[in-house]
Chain A
Amino acid sequence: EAGVVQSPRYKIIEKKQPVAFWCNPISGHNTLYWYLQNLGQGPELLIRYENEEAVDDSQLPKDRFSAERLKGVDSTLKIQPAELGDSAVYLCASSREGGNGYTFGSGTRLTVV
């Protein structure tokens, strides 16, 4: 089966510009996650979706970050406006409902200059 697909792989933008990341989970995986990974750190959850519903967005900085998962399949994560501190890797993962294992995508490495 195809894995979790993310795009773009790399993105360089100037501060205050908007940016969006896209994720296509594994077919049949109801749960989708966005994680943020700073350099030298482990990933931290930003938001979790069960189908199209965001069930945990407590760590998403809602003043500048937004996410959506229309139709409960693909998801986009947006930052507007981006700040220098947003430079990091943004990882998407998916799992089956009630499943145990996660599958991660390759991530999008964002650099804000």
Chain B
Amino acid sequence: KQEVTQIPAALSVPEGENLVLNCSFTDSAIYNLQWFRQDPGKGLTSLLLIQSSQREQTSGRLNASLDKSSGRSTLYIAASQPGDSATYLCAVRHNTDKLIFGTGTRLQVFP
């Protein structure tokens, strides 16, 4: 059974710092991995999607890497801003088309 773990569970940093959020999964036979952002009381916004054959994806200040063999992904946020404050969720998908989520990292960036 696939299990997805995210570390740390919570993170509070001053703005301007570069951050690394970690995601690990137990079954490496994934189809892809996706990072989402969730603001309080809101739904999920897709940030980056990495196919199983890819090593990384970049969008603006965000960079996500994938090491499928070791069951790990990292989300790198450069030059963090208060507007980045949210919960970040990673989810893996197998060929069953079902997403399995981690419990998230709650990020707070203070001015």
Contacts and interface: CB of A to CB of B under 8 A. Distances in A.
Contacts of B97: 31, 48, 56
A91 interface: yes
A106 B42 contact: yes
Interface in B71-111: 89, 91, 93, 96-99, 101-104
A58 to B, nearest CB: 9
A66 interface: no
B43 A106 contact: yes
Contacts of B42: 106-107
Contact of A91 (B34, B44, B51, B103): B44
B98 A104 contact: no
B60 interface: no
Contacts of B98: 45, 48, 56
A105 B43 CA distance: 6
Interface in A60-113: 91, 93, 100-107, 109
A104 B43 contact: yes
19 contacts: A6-B43, A35-B99, A42-B91, A42-B104, A43-B99, A43-B101, A45-B99, A48-B98, A56-B96, A56-B97, A56-B98, A100-B93, A101-B46, A101-B49, A102-B99, A104-B43, A104-B44, A106-B42, A107-B42
Q: Which 6 A-B pairs give the minimum distances between C-beta atoms? A: A42-B101, A104-B44, A106-B43, A104-B43, A107-B43, A45-B98
Given A41-B103, A42-B4, 17 more contacts: A35-B99, A42-B101, A43-B44, A45-B98, A48-B97, A56-B96, A56-B97, A91-B43, A91-B44, A100-B49, A101-B46, A101-B49, A102-B46, A102-B99, A103-B46, A104-B46, A105-B43
Interface of B: 4, 32, 34, 36, 41-46, 49, 51, 89, 91, 93, 96-99, 101-104
Interface of A: 4, 6, 31, 33, 35, 40-45, 48, 56, 91, 93, 100-107, 109
